[in-house]
Amino acid sequence: MTAAPPALLHRVGDRALGWLDTHRELFRLTDEDLATGRGIIERIKPVGELAVNMRVLAREGVAGSRMHECSVRLLDHAWRDLLDGGNLLADLQRREPLSPVPLEVYASLYELGHRHPALEDAIGLARTTAAWRALEMAPNRRLGVLNAERKLGLVPSGDPEQALAATWLGQLPEPWTVQLQIAYDITHTVFHLTDWGAAPDRIPPHVAQYLELYLPAWIADWAELRHWDLLGELLVVDACLPRPTLDERAWELYAAAQDASGAMPVRQEMPQGSPQDVFDQVHHPTLVAAFASAMATSRALSADVAA
């Protein structure tokens, strides 16, 4: 299997970042969102995803000066403007004290030096309750909460090994049952386990071996189905493994699916509609494209240096 050239990998992320920067205002919550509180978690989560992905780009150090400036600008915009310096997260924590979303969004920004003492106090109060530990959630989500607590320097509210063992991936089931939601459960288990690719060595050897054996077939299947959002996430998982394939064929198909604007469709072709409607549909796969590009480019360059 031939590995994709770094220039191809990098180009996908460069174009995706340009689209995200151009459309950064569409991440903003509307006055109606803020007034009613309806759907506010769903509107804040993309801002958290933006922060995570820009943090990955900065961490991997594979961006040129223009991309670096763009990522810094987006991170500053996310914290200062979209989240009102953290006030929006603090308000959400007060409205829904048992929601882990403010914690998870804040953790990535906290790593970058942003602080909001009132939010930290509200999170701390929620975490003293038995209700916080009793929250029912998917095991891979539990890994995400534990990872966020670790980044904030908090005593974890659960055991990461037990959380991993309870996930679909942690049980190493028959690989032919990888349907759409199961596949997303797999990718997010890896993301939370490795802190969004920062620590690939946190994947236990037996899990890494399982993924190395079956991931190429899953990548080929979802590439053939032209499900670009999921394919991008699987390409990130590939880059987290000890021996990533960086499959050239999969990356060529993925790059060809990217719109000329830099946006990445969820599946098949780009959707039609108003700018906001299109943004709501493609911002996630475009963020994934930036994430996948940064991880794969970093691994490809590291392999070139090692060679």
Residue 38: predicted pLDDT: 62
* Residues 117/106, Cβ–Cβ less than 8 Å: no
Q: Which pLDDT score, from 0 to 100, does residue 43 have?
A: 81
Calculate mean pLDDT across residues 51-80.
85
Q: What pLDDT, on a 0 to 100 scale, did the predictor assign at position 72?
A: 85
Q: Is the pTM of this model over 0.85?
A: yes
Question: For residue range 227-256, what is the model confidence (pLDDT) as tens digits?
Answer: 999 999 999 999 999 999 999 999 999 999
Packing angle of the helix pair 248-257, 228-240 (nearest 10 deg) = 140
Using pLDDT thresholds of 50, 70 and 90, give the confidence band for residue 288: very high
Residue 138 or residue 34, greater confidence? 138
Find where tokens 């801002």 sit.
Answer: 47
Can you tell me the mean pLDDT for 81-88? Answer: 92
Q: In the prediction, which pLDDT does 28 show?
A: 87
Q: What is the pLDDT of residue 280?
A: 92
User: What is the secondary structure of 247-275 as a DSSP string?
Assistant: BHHHHHHHHHHS-TTS---SSSS---S-H
Nearest Cα residue to 27 out of 46, 55, 51: 46
Q: How high is the pLDDT of residue 37? A: 64
Taking Cα atoms as reference points, which of 225, 285, 231, 281 lies closest to residue 254? Answer: 231
Task: Tell me the per-residue pLDDT of 187-216, one tens digit each, with 9 for 90 and over.
Answer: 999 999 999 999 999 999 999 999 999 999
**DSSP structural state of residue 213:** H
Average pLDDT value for residue range 267-281? 94
Rounded percentage of the chain residues whose pLDDT exceeds 90: 74
Does residue 30 carry a pLDDT above 90?
no
| Residues 193 and 202: beta-carbon distance below 8 Å | yes
pLDDT at residue 65 above 80? no
CA 224 to CA 242: how far, in whole Å? 25
Confidence of residue 307 (pLDDT cuts 50, 70, 90): very low
Question: Can you say whether the dihedral through the CA atoms of 57, 194, 206, 141 is positive or negative?
Answer: negative
pLDDT beyond 70 at 123: yes
Is a pLDDT exceeding 80 seen at residue 63? no
Confidence category of residue 176, pLDDT binned at 50, 70, 90: confident
Per the CB < 8 A criterion, the answer to whether 140 and 167 are in contact is yes
Q: For residue 36, what pLDDT band results from cuts at 50, 70 and 90? A: low
Residue 144 near residue 163 (C-beta atoms within 8 A): no
pLDDT cut 70: percent of the chain above it: 96
pLDDT at residue 22 above 60?
yes
Mean pLDDT of 132-137: 90
Q: What average pLDDT does the structure give for the chain?
A: 91
**Cα pseudo-dihedral 86, 27, 41, 158, rounded to 10:** -70
Q: Is the pLDDT of residue 284 over 50?
A: yes
Spell out the domain ranges in the chain: 6-306
